[in-house]
Amino acid sequence: MPAQHDHPMPTGRSAPVVAAIVALALAGATALAACGSDAATASDLAVAIDFAASRPDGGAAPDLTVGADLACVGDGGCFSCPPARTSEFLNQCSGSTCARFDNRRLVLLDPDGGLPPL
Amino acid sequence: MDAAPPWPLPPRVARRRHACLGALVAAVGWPSAALAIQCGALPSPTYGLGGSAQKPLIARVATALAQAAPPTTVIYQAPGACFGINALISRTPLTGTASYWDTNGKEQQCDLPLAGVQPNFANMGNFATTCPGVARLPDGLGDFRGPIAAVDFLVPVASQQQSISAEAAYLAFGLGKAGKVTPWVDESFLIKRDQNSFATLLVSLATGVPPAAFKGVDAKSNAGTVMLVGAAQNPEAAIGYASSDVADANRGSVRVLAYQHKGQSCGYWPDSTVTAFDKANVRSGQYWLWAQTHFFAPVDGGGTIPHADTARFVGLFTRAVTVPGIDMLAIEAKSGNVPECAMHARRDGDLGPLASYLPAAPCGCAFEKAATGATGCTACKINDDCKNTPQPTCRFGYCEVR
């Protein structure tokens, strides 16, 4: 039976991937912020977030939903600020129990997260 | 029916004989057909058609209206969500038999006229245009909104499974056995609904499986889904989906799975835990599979429902009507639904993007109390009772933020 926990926790296998993508996203955010474009920063991060979330390891990347604002990263990477976007609502910090479904169970899920046609 | 024997039967034999007769009678359905009342003879009827997802909610409101003075009788058929709106659009009459609820809350059957009767309202959980073949809501039909309803993935209580992702649901219900989503690979244990079902339409929107392409066995109704899932001979292989209304009323036989949407880091139940009834994650937007209930009815040029009993019934959900003794907030909460005033998230369209929501007259505390029996909120009678709290306004008996 999959473990339940009170907040999203990346698995050990996916944690390096998460960390790498977080680092990439934050690096991109920093670079874009340096160019003085906050809107572009948020947008580019959203792309990075969507990419990570569609990975076959189930995303396992709650940290990535937080955009560029590190002040909004809660325990386990959940989104700790008032949510405004769908990804923030879905990954908001809460007192609810959750049960992660590990998409690595899905043998037909493509390496890039794509699904086969029906 | 057999003749009475010329001697007294021993009690045990008599009981057995009565039991056998009862079973026979139930099997042939003879007495219900012979004894069914004419729907038109019931007091102040309103006729509706639509989904089975919210039949528990409709039953509670219908019971309350049957008890009201004067009473209104809600007569309802539940062949599937989209059948209701399509019947209203095409002016297809209701025929056969329909359900109504007596003053004790017992579901009864009545006979409709042979020529049928035009439906006064349709009910479903989705927008009209999400239904197959409905391009737009025609002029003359109003769309009235009710509480928020969730759709749940269900497994038998004996199943070891705890959660499902959107991708897993796509592969399991879209490809069946070929989807290779262990343990959900036996299509005789995949319980689905057809493309006229609100539950199917919502799962379709969430997963990308076309509504008519679901693999599995059609349960025909939400209650049918619960029955087939709950009684599955191979509990680990069985899975289905149904409304929270129906799922919550049957937690003895089915268990709700946490659902992990695309881009979500973990799977969440509609409630804060698998055993809770607080709908915390529906209210916050952390649970993805929810939509606002719709009641459709013919309206006049001013957008008003001219049929008085239908206006009374639908108006309870929109809060345009109040009836002494009917507490809609409590009814909705206890039926597994969430009144809009208890939501912190909103969305446009079926499964549209989420946005923050602060109701004009919040009722979250009263909802918690009604749904779970407890709340941490401060009780109040007037605003002054709330002046020393961060929630300064007294609403529905509790201090709220405004």
Per-residue pLDDT tens over the stretch B279-315: 999 999 999 999 999 999 999 999 999 999 999 999 9
Q: Indicate the residue of B179, B263, B345 with minimum beta-carbon distance to A53.
A: B263
Q: Which residue has the higher pLDDT, B27 or A118?
A: A118
- How far is residue A24 from each of residues A68, B64, B342, measured CA to CA in Å? 12, 59, 39
Contact assessment for residue B383 and residue B392, using Cβ atoms and an 8 Å cutoff: yes
First to last CA, chain B: 66
Give me the half-sphere count of Cα atoms (radius 13 Å) on the Cβ side of residue B260.
Answer: 27
Cα B110 off chain centre by: 21
* Per-residue pLDDT at A37 exceeds 70: no
Contact assessment for residue B241 and residue B190, using Cβ atoms and an 8 Å cutoff: no
Q: A33 in helix, strand or coil? A: helix
> Would you state the pLDDT for residue A6?
39
Chain A positions touching B150 (Cβ under 8 A) are none
Q: Give this prediction's pTM.
A: 0.82
Q: Indicate the residue of A8, A54, A62 with minimum beta-carbon distance to B262.
A: A54
> Would you state the pLDDT for residue B128?
97
- How far is residue B163 from each of residues A6, A60, B256, B274, measured CA to CA in Å? 14, 14, 9, 10
Q: B13 in helix, strand or coil? A: helix
> What phi and psi, each to the nearest 5 degrees, are found at residue B227?
-65, -45
Q: Is the peptide bond before A117 cis (omega within 30 degrees of 0)?
A: no
Spatial separation of the C-alpha atoms in residues B386 and B295, rounded to whole Å:
36
Locate all alpha helices (DSSP H) within B149-221, ordered by sequence.
166-175, 198-207
Q: Which tokens in the block code for residue B87?
A: 């019947």
> Would you state the pLDDT for residue B40?
97
* Per-residue pLDDT at A80 exceeds 60: yes
Residues 27-56 of A with CB under 8 A from B: 49-50, 53-54
Cα B177 off chain centre by: 30
- Mean pLDDT, range A102-113, rounded to an integer: 92
> Would you state the pLDDT for residue A69?
73
Beta-carbon contacts of residue A71 (< 8 Å; ≥ 6 apart)? A80, A81
> Would you state the pLDDT for residue B35?
63
Q: Mark yes or no for CB contact B168/A106 under 8 Å.
A: yes
Mean pLDDT per 10-residue section of chain B, whose length is 402 residues: 36 40 38 71 98 96 98 97 97 97 97 97 97 95 98 98 98 98 98 97 98 98 97 98 96 97 96 98 98 98 98 98 97 97 97 97 98 97 95 97 94
* Per-residue pLDDT at A33 exceeds 60: no
The DSSP letter of residue B92 is P
* Per-residue pLDDT at A71 exceeds 60: yes
Q: Which of B153, B205, B239, B266 is best to mutate for the A interface (most A CBs within 10 A)?
A: B266
Q: Which tokens in the block code for residue B321?
A: 């009507």
> Would you state the pLDDT for residue B36?
80
State the CB neighbour count (10 A cutoff) for residue B250: 21
Residue in chain A lying closest to B287 (CA):
A90
Give me the half-sphere count of Cα atoms (radius 13 Å) on the Cβ side of residue B59.
Answer: 21
Spatial separation of the C-alpha atoms in residues B173 and B152, rounded to whole Å:
14
- Mean pLDDT, range A82-100, rounded to an integer: 96
Exposure b/e, B72-100, CB count within 10 A at least 16 = b: bbbbbbbbbbbbbbbbbbeeeebeebbbb
State the CB neighbour count (10 A cutoff) for residue B284: 20
Place A113 in a pLDDT band, splitting at 50, 70 and 90: confident
Angle between helices B198-207 and B166-175 (to 10 degrees): 120
Is B397 exposed, middle or buried (CB count within 10 Å of its CB: 0-12, 13-18, 19+)? middle
Mean pLDDT (chain A, rounded): 60
> Would you put residue B180 in left (φ > 0), alpha (ψ -120 to 50) or beta?
left
Contact assessment for residue B126 and residue B80, using Cβ atoms and an 8 Å cutoff: no
What DSSP string runs through B41-88?
A: GSSSEEEEEE-STTHHHHHHHHHHHHHSSS--EEEEE-S-HHHHHHHH
Spatial separation of the C-alpha atoms in residues A67 and A61, rounded to whole Å:
12
> Would you state the pLDDT for residue A66?
42
> Would you state the pLDDT for residue A3?
38
Q: Indicate the residue of A8, A99, A118 with minimum beta-carbon distance to B174.
A: A118
Three-state SS string over B246-306 comes to HHHCCCCCEEECEEECCCCCCCECCCCCCCCCCCHHHHHCCCCCEEEEEEEEECCCCCCCC
pLDDT digits (tens, 9 = 90+) for B82-125: 999 999 999 999 999 999 999 999 999 999 999 999 999 999 99
Give me the half-sphere count of Cα atoms (radius 13 Å) on the Cβ side of residue B338.
Answer: 33
Residue in chain A lying closest to B274 (CA):
A97
Contact assessment for residue B332 and residue B339, using Cβ atoms and an 8 Å cutoff: yes
Residue closest to B150 by CA, chosen among B194, B114, B202: B202
Spatial separation of the C-alpha atoms in residues B129 and B145, rounded to whole Å:
15
Place A99 in a pLDDT band, splitting at 50, 70 and 90: very high
> Would you state the pLDDT for residue A75?
87
Distance from the A45 Cα atom to the nearest Cα atom in chain B, whole angstroms? 13
Q: Mark yes or no for CB contact A96/B273 under 8 Å.
A: yes
Residue closest to A89 by CA, chosen among B180, B134, B290: B290
Q: Indicate the residue of B160, B164, B213 with minimum beta-carbon distance to A101.
A: B164
